Amino acid sequence: MGTTIYPTVPVAQPEAEPWPVDEQTIRVDEMFARQLDNEFAGHVCGLLHDAETGVSAQRGEAALEAIAGAMPALGELKERTLTQAIGPRQRSILEPLIETRLDWAAGTLSRLAQRATVEVDDQSVAERIAGLNQDAATAWQDPAYLRKLGRTAVEELRYQGERRGWDPAETDTRVRAGLSDLYAGAIETAIRQEDLDGASALYDHARVVIALERQAAIDRRFVRAREVALYCDVDRDMAGIPLEPAGPPSAEVFAERAAELTPEDASDEVRAGIAQVAAHAQRRAERQWQKQQAEAGVAALDWFGKNPGRSFLAIPSDICDWLAPDQQRGLETLFIEGRLRTDRDLFERLDRQMIYEPDAFAGVDLDRHRLSLDDEDHARFAGAQKAITDGSSDSAIIRYRRARLGTDRALEAKGIDTDGPEARVIRANVRELLGDFEAVEGRSPNGQDVDGIVSGEVDGDLAQAKPPFVVPRMPTRTPRYQEPIPGASGKDAAKDIPSWARGQRPLVGENGKAAARRIMDEQYGPGKWSETGREYQQLKKHFDRGYRTPTTGFPMDMEA
């Protein structure tokens, strides 16, 4: 078309030069067009069949959305590819090739769309059927509503069969399976809710529409549910067996009751199950009886705190009757002395269990032993239980575990019975020294300190516990040294003293302060030590608490 300079005077334009026609240029154009076509085909295949982002990799709603966006994407790809063609000949060669590719892509998208539509439809039907089954499980007690739900499920499945093109036999099979699932689910829900009568009535009504394999599963559920119901009845009955303060019910009591509650036609498996229920009920009764004792001990302690000065006999009988002999002894001591006293045998048993059997120790009911442990020991064991249960690393427990194990090994190496009285005294000394270490030294003990306490106490106490045998004779002169208090433990006698001072004793008439000064002067020289030092304080405490004026002297103790 000519360019218009004036409205009525068009100006003619020169014609475009024709595309050169020769065999070489034609081959070049064909080659370039084929190259563009191959690139276009690669993009189309990627759009449709990429393993992650391709349309064929999508399912259901996602596939339909991908298909809807694929056609515009293909159109854009076509235009972008055609713009790369040089000249009309390349375009004329390339465009039919692209159209062929697009026809193939359209057919592929059509098949993918059909598949996605079927998937969406099947998913929709499955969701509706699942909703109907859930409604049936919720409303299993309403037969009329169940029938309505069943008809709706049949209509959904038949309509799906029509859309999918199923033959009548396949449609009927799927309808029967859907009804079977609906009613079977309702019956199983009734069984889970322990309404066996209602479940049985519904089962009798719907048995004809339930598949045989599903019937077998329901029959097994009924058998198991009736067994469980029987076990629950037996357990509830045995839970009502009364507890007496004299002791928990014996195994014979539960065995006799189990025999009374066992049906005559019960199978061997059911009889064994009832026996297990009876054994469990007996263990539960024992735990409840022990808990009752523990609660009685705590209640007695509370009563004592709220009723100071009242007689032991005034404790309410519902508390006193449940107290075990050891609890009664602890309570009597509390009334007489005004404080709790630790049972040493119990303490040793718990102390050993704490170190050697921590899991078992964590399960001990300390309330049961509340009247047999003083406040300090009870708090110690309660703290250890909490640390073990919480799985925390309590440094005090870790240090004591090292000390206890080291003490027992050292005693065994020396042939000393670790359960004997001598070992108990040594362990008590170790516990006291370990507990006082930080107050004396101003720091927590490390492993070397713990080992030093153990070795010093074991070696020192054994040497002190086995003095040379001396034939007693009546004194002929005034005794010079004070004598050790017989039976004094390491804690009572404060035996944590320097190793160089072992064997030193205060003179008769000398108090702990004077004796400590004398011995420190002998060791370090007058004025070369401090009264605030650890060694002086240890000696003073030891001499004040561990020695007394002798009542009978021996020649070896006399003034020369």
Question: Which of the four pLDDT bands, split at 50, 70 and 90, describes residue 20?
Answer: low
pLDDT digits (tens, 9 = 90+) for 176-205: 999 999 999 999 999 998 888 888 999 998
Per-residue pLDDT, 368: 92
H/E element holding 372?
A: none
Residues above pLDDT 90, as percent of the chain: 25
DSSP letter (8 states) at residue 558: B
The 3-class secondary structure across 101-155, one letter per residue, is HHHHHHHHHHHHHHHHHHHHHHHHHHHHHHHHHHHHHHCCCCHHHHHHHHHHHHH
pLDDT digits (tens, 9 = 90+) for 246-259: 888 888 999 888 88
Per-residue pLDDT, 492: 61
Question: Which of the four pLDDT bands, split at 50, 70 and 90, describes residue 479?
Answer: low
CA distance 332 to 318: 17
CA distance 156 to 153: 5
The 3-class secondary structure across 216-277, one letter per residue, is HHHHHHHHHHHHHHHHHHHHHHHHCCCCECCECCCHHHHHHHHHHHCCCCCCHHHHHHHHHH
Average pLDDT over residues 293-305: 91
Asked whether the predicted pLDDT for residue 14 surpasses 80, the reply is no
H/E element holding 414?
A: none
Per-residue pLDDT, 559: 41
Average pLDDT over residues 230-252: 89
Asked whether the predicted pLDDT for residue 447 surpasses 50, the reply is yes
**What are the extents of the domains in the chain?**
23-120, 140-229, 235-294, 393-466, 483-548
Hey, what are 22's tokens? 């020769």
CA distance 308 to 288: 30
Beta pairing partners, 24? none
Q: Name which of 146-160, 207-221, 313-327, 477-491 the model is least confident about.
A: 477-491
Tell me whether residue 105 is exposed, middle or buried, using C-beta atoms within 10 angstroms of its C-beta: 0 to 12, 13 to 18, 19 or more.
buried
H/E element holding 6?
A: strand 3-6
CB atoms within 10 A of CB 533: 12
CA distance 17 to 37: 27
- Helix/strand/coil for 488: coil
pLDDT digits (tens, 9 = 90+) for 279-290: 999 999 999 999
Alpha carbon 336 to its chain centroid, in Å, reads: 46
Hey, what are 506's tokens? 């205060």
- Helix/strand/coil for 43: helix
Alpha carbon 157 to its chain centroid, in Å, reads: 47
Closest CA to 109 of 162, 72, 80: 72
| Beta strand pairing call for 483-484 and 9-11 | unpaired
H/E element holding 10?
A: strand 9-11
Asked whether the predicted pLDDT for residue 464 surpasses 60, the reply is no
Closest CA to 295 of 362, 366, 397: 366
Hey, what are 115's tokens? 């598949």
DSSP letter (8 states) at residue 551: S
Asked whether the predicted pLDDT for residue 462 surpasses 80, the reply is no
Mean pLDDT of the chain: 83
Asked whether the predicted pLDDT for residue 557 surpasses 70, the reply is no
pLDDT digits (tens, 9 = 90+) for 198-212: 889 999 988 988 999
CB atoms within 10 A of CB 237: 15
Asked whether the predicted pLDDT for residue 478 surpasses 60, the reply is no
Residues above pLDDT 70, as percent of the chain: 89
pLDDT digits (tens, 9 = 90+) for 516-525: 888 888 888 8
CA distance 168 to 138: 31
